């Protein structure tokens, strides 16, 4: 994991600890309502001692009521990294004066400098505007209220719902073309591009969920439903059409690293799958191996799907195979061979009805 990614995950962990429903968030909300402001530093004792010059050493259990009362004193409160213990109250903090900051208010200035110096979270609560700002290292994050976050999440879910409809349409179209042996690179790229948009929106929604805490439950169910089988279908599609021996996870990682402009390029997407980036290759049909199509047949384990696809190499060969030929594959007995043939026939008929 890169250093940047690690810090982002650490910030999300802090946000989970101050999400609605947590003791710390209850205390923050009460401090905002009282309009006297506050400065909270989340750090272990060793780090805290680098900036704490005076104050009351408490080492007592954190409760919302206790934290609110202690915040009535002007100086900072230091909370242990487990967010369960109050280490210091009325703490006078002296961060390194050489650390740059663009903040003007005393609390926010101190919070930013302490966060940068110690690499910890510092939370500044404005007395006049009720603004709550989380500083973590070089990151700065303004907490939003539940109503605003819920509205953002619902808007993103509506957009994701539209992408899900497009995903379903492209998936059915690709399956029909696989049966006919008429898959072109842009059919694959269209589905890849849609999935990548869905994964990006999912990531955005999940970050909002971190801040929503216990308020996210119903929306979380909706997100799970909208993303059902999307990632699995992505992996199987890559296995169907990749022209190299890289793992699907590495190919997905490469596709995720593409810029928005590169992702819109069919040539660049196909290059990630192992194809030559040549314009004439865009008009050449690509045979499917059948992983994704076989996965649409009920009660066929992935191990059997892999055995069948690996044995016959192409979907067309699977379609042409007799029950006896299917039974030669490991894990395929008579009942399962019949289920595969009938399942493929039903799937093909359902696609004709869809068209």
Q: What is the pLDDT of residues 14-52, one digit of tens each?
A: 999 999 999 999 999 999 999 989 999 999 999 999 999
**Polymer length of the chain:** 355
Per the model's pLDDT, the better-predicted residue between 56 and 3 turns out to be: 56
What CATH code is carried by the domain that includes residue 170? Answer: 1.20.1260.110
Q: Among the three residues 143, 168, 194, which one is the final residue of a domain in this structure? A: 143
Q: Could you tell me the residue range of the domain that residue 335 belongs to?
A: 289-355
pLDDT over 80 at 218, yes or no: yes
CATH code of 105's domain: 3.40.1700.10
In angstroms, the CA 45 to CA 126 distance is: 25
What pTM does this model have?
A: 0.86
- The mean per-residue pLDDT over the stretch 316-340 comes to 96
Percent of the chain with pLDDT over 70: 97
Residue 3 has pLDDT above 50, yes or no: no
pLDDT at 174 over 50: yes
User: Taking the alpha carbons of 223, 224, 226, 230 in that order, is the dihedral positive or negative?
Assistant: positive
- Once rounded to an integer, what is the mean pLDDT over residues 175-190? 96
Helix 146-180 / helix 334-354 crossing angle, nearest 10 deg: 110
Return the pLDDT at 125.
Answer: 96
Residue 208, pLDDT above cutoff 70 = yes
Question: How high is the pLDDT of residue 10?
Answer: 85
Confidence of residue 354 (pLDDT cuts 50, 70, 90): low
Are residues 338 and 255 both part of a single domain?
A: no
Q: Residue 313 is part of a domain; what is its CATH number? A: 1.10.150.20
Higher model confidence: residue 234 or residue 105?
234
């Amino acid at each position: 994991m890169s250093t940047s990614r690690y810090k982002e995950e650490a910030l999300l962990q802090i946000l989970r600890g101050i999400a609605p429903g947590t003791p710390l968030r209850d205390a923050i909300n009460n401090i905002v309502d009282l309009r006297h402001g506050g400065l909270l530093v989340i750090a272990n004792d060793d780090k805290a001692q680098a900036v704490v010059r005076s104050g009351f050493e408490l080492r007592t259990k954190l409760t919302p009521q206790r934290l609110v009362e202690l915040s009535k004193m002007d100086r900072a409160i230091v909370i242990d990294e487990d967010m369960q213990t109050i280490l210091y109250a009325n703490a006078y903090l002296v961060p390194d004066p050489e650390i740059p900051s663009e903040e003007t208010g005393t609390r926010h200035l101190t919070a930013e400098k302490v966060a940068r110096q110690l690499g910890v979270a510092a939370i500044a609560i404005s007395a006049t505007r009720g603004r709550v700002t989380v500083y973590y290292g070089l990151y700065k994050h303004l907490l939003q209220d539940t109503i605003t976050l819920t509205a953002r999440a619902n808007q993103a879910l509506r957009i994701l719902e539209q992408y899900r409809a497009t995903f379903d349409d492209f998936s059915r179209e690709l399956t029909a073309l696989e049966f006919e042996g008429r898959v072109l690179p842009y059919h694959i790229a269209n589905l890849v591009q849609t999935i990548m948009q869905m994964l990006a929106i999912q990531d955005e929604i999940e970050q909002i969920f971190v801040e929503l805490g216990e308020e996210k439950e119903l929306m979380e169910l909706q997100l799970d439903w909208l993303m059902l089988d999307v990632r699995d279908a992505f992996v199987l599609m890559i296995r169907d059409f990749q022209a190299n021996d890289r793992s699907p996870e590495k190919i997905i990682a490469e596709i995720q690293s593409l810029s928005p402009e590169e992702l819109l390029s069919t040539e660049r997407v196909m290059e990630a799958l192992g194809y030559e980036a040549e314009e004439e290759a865009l008009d050449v049909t690509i045979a499917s191996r059948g992983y994704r199509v076989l996965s649409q047949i009920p009660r066929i384990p992935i191990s059997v799907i892999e055995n069948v696809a690996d044995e016959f190499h192409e979907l067309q060969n699977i379609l042409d195979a007799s029950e006896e030929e299917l039974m030669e594959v490991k894990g395929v007995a008579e009942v399962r061979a019949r289920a595969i043939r009938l399942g493929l026939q039903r799937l093909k008929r359902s696609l004709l009805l869809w068209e």
